[in-house]
Amino acid sequence: MSKTRKILSIVLAVVMAFSVFSICTFADTDTATWTVEVTNTDGSALPASIPTGTIVKVTVKLQTNFYVGTVGLPVYFSEAFEYVDGSKVQAEIYGAGATRFGFNDNFDAGTGYNAVMAVYVPNSGAAGVASPIYSTATTILTFNLEAVSEASAAEVKLDASKQKSASNIGGPFYCGSRATSDVNTDETTTGQTFNVPAATTIVIANAAATPVLSGIDTGYVDDVNGYVYGIPVGEDAADYFEVENGTFDVSGTATGETLTVYDSNDNVYATYTVIIFGDVDGSGDVTLLDEEIVYGGASGVDISDDVVFFAADVDASGDITLLDDEIVYGGASGLDVTVNPYV
Ligand SMILES: [Ca+2]
Ligand SMILES: [Ca+2]
């Protein structure tokens, strides 16, 4: 038995002892309203469908018209989800340092579901310990789940049938009620009305396979710089690349244009900047206008644009010199400029 389980067992034993003493007391006007929210981990709304591998955040809130006693909170989720180890946060219900916690991330949920079980017991000897009334919905538990397999309607839910009651005394879902904030007074653990929300259902789709962009013929993918090059002047850049597990388009064949890679769900996966060596002004060909810029760079004019600099360094030396200018001048005069000086 792990240390966590052992502590949980002790806490549960304490809870059971409470329930034995409290079973004769009913408070049928007491109402607890539970709320379950499933969001992205930053709290934003989930999209209509999430891919496997997505981490979602579950937030459980409680609102009461009574002073909150011992709480047992099982949260159920379809087997398409798995609890993310270490992700749970339990609220200090009875004041800072005045709450004893139990948590089981592998609670017996029955067929078709996994579950976590959170337990809160006031530490009656702690300074400042008091039962609160939650007059507004108050977060008492958050944890994360990972979507691990495809599902058309994966559920996250509380289960009203698990509520502790006179006829279901072993029910794990309960919230003790007190008449005052004094945690040393008797509490009732059955008889409260629980308002439990309908299950939250989530569509989990298989994650798109990772797209892989590669060059055809002289086409070259420079993943370090985010550039694509190796395209002869006057040729169509689209003919020099291909994508496995996706598609791509390219905005034009000139320095500074963009090649965009999409996954099989048509989501943008990556973008690259097109480089045509010697075409430093982005016109798509190599002319004396390009040569002027390279000559300026070789003469000490600062070329601060990384893309322009890369296209002007046609000998791949790492700086702009008169050797680059000579090559670009040749290109403007009809000679070939290498499509990839890095190979
Ligand atoms: Ca040009
Ligand atoms: Ca150079």
- State the pLDDT confidence band at 112, using cuts at 50, 70 and 90: confident
Q: What is the pLDDT of residue 110?
A: 82
Calculate how far, in angstroms, residue 252's C-alpha sits from the geometric centre of ligand 2.
Answer: 25
State yes or no: pLDDT of 12 exceeds 80: no
Calculate how far, in angstroms, residue 301's C-alpha sits from the geometric centre of ligand 1.
Answer: 18
Q: Where are the domains of the chain?
A: 3-205, 212-332
Tell me which residues have their CB within 5 A of the ion that is ligand 1.
Answer: 279, 281, 283, 290
The pLDDT tens digits for 175-198 are 999 999 999 999 998 989 999 999
Calculate how far, in angstroms, residue 279's C-alpha sits from the geometric centre of ligand 1.
Answer: 4
Calculate how far, in angstroms, residue 194's C-alpha sits from the geometric centre of ligand 2.
Answer: 74
Show the tokens assigned to 63: 């609102």
Helix axes 322-332, 288-298, angle to 10 degrees: 170
Report the mean per-residue pLDDT for the chain.
92
Calculate how far, in angstroms, residue 311's C-alpha sits from the geometric centre of ligand 1.
Answer: 10
Calculate how far, in angstroms, residue 314's C-alpha sits from the geometric centre of ligand 2.
Answer: 6
- State the pLDDT confidence band at 20, using cuts at 50, 70 and 90: very low
Task: Tell me what the mean pLDDT of segment 57-71 comes to.
Answer: 97
Calculate how far, in angstroms, residue 85's C-alpha sits from the geometric centre of ligand 2.
Answer: 52
- State the pLDDT confidence band at 312, using cuts at 50, 70 and 90: very high
Q: In this structure, which ligand is nearest to the CA of 331? A: 1
C-alpha triplet 287, 291, 292: angle, nearest 5°: 115
Q: Are 228 and 222 in contact (CB under 8 A)?
A: yes
C-alpha triplet 24, 27, 30: angle, nearest 5°: 150
Q: What is the pLDDT of residue 41?
A: 97
The pLDDT tens digits for 296-306 are 999 999 999 99
C-alpha triplet 135, 136, 138: angle, nearest 5°: 115
CATH class of 3-205: mainly beta
Q: What is the pLDDT of residue 22?
A: 44
The pLDDT tens digits for 220-269 are 999 999 999 999 999 999 999 999 999 999 999 999 999 999 998 788 99
pTM, entire model: 0.63
Calculate how far, in angstroms, residue 271's C-alpha sits from the geometric centre of ligand 1.
Answer: 22
Calculate how far, in angstroms, residue 226's C-alpha sits from the geometric centre of ligand 2.
Answer: 20
Calculate how far, in angstroms, residue 247's C-alpha sits from the geometric centre of ligand 1.
Answer: 28
Calculate how far, in angstroms, residue 303's C-alpha sits from the geometric centre of ligand 2.
Answer: 12
Task: Tell me what the mean pLDDT of segment 264-278 comes to.
Answer: 93
Round to the nearest angstrom and report the end-to-end CA distance of the chain.
Answer: 61
Burial of 283 (0-12, 13-18, 19+ CB in 10 A): middle
Does an H or E element contain 288, and which? helix 288-298
Calculate how far, in angstroms, residue 310's C-alpha sits from the geometric centre of ligand 2.
Answer: 9
Report the candidate in 138, 29, 154 with the shortest Cα–Cα distance to residue 82: 154
- State the pLDDT confidence band at 19, using cuts at 50, 70 and 90: very low
Cα 195 to chain centroid, rounded: 30
Q: How many residues does the chain have?
A: 343
Does an H or E element contain 296, and which? helix 288-298
CATH architecture entry for 212-332: Orthogonal Bundle (1.10)
Task: Tell me what the mean pLDDT of segment 270-275 comes to.
Answer: 98
